[in-house]
Amino acid sequence: MNERVVICRCEDITEEEVLDAIRDGAISMEELKRVLRVGMGPCQGRTCGSLIRALLARELGVPVHSIKEWSRRPPLKPVPAGAFFQGEES
């Protein structure tokens, strides 16, 4: 039986790992992202974002609206690197 609770599918991060990071002192979505890579995969946090916000709020004992968004950077969608280059090889 699969007992893992997956929070970030792209980077394969479980609820236990997020909770450990919070117990280790992470207090924001941005910190969790930097420590665990959550939200940095091809979906850019579209699936895990609301779960992580809820976990942080619960563990820190604060309302969900007080948890700030993590920073977003382009590219927001999976992009083939070749889209930016001219020619094949040189």
Residues at the contact surface with another protein, assessed by CB under 8 A: 1-7, 9-12, 15, 41-51, 64-65, 69, 72-87, 89-90
C-alpha–C-alpha distance, residues 88 and 90, integer Å: 7
Q: Decide whether 26 or 52 has the Cβ nearer to another protein.
A: 52
Tell me the closest approach of the beta carbon of residue 52 to another protein, in angstroms: 10
C-alpha–C-alpha distance, residues 17 and 57, integer Å: 16
Q: Decide whether 5 or 27 has the Cβ nearer to another protein.
A: 5
Give yes or no for a contact between 10 and 17, defined as CB atoms under 8 angstroms apart: no
In the numeric block, the tokens 């039986």 are attached to 1
Q: Decide whether 4 or 27 has the Cβ nearer to another protein.
A: 4
Tell me the closest approach of the beta carbon of residue 63 to another protein, in angstroms: 9
Tell me the closest approach of the beta carbon of residue 25 to another protein, in angstroms: 22
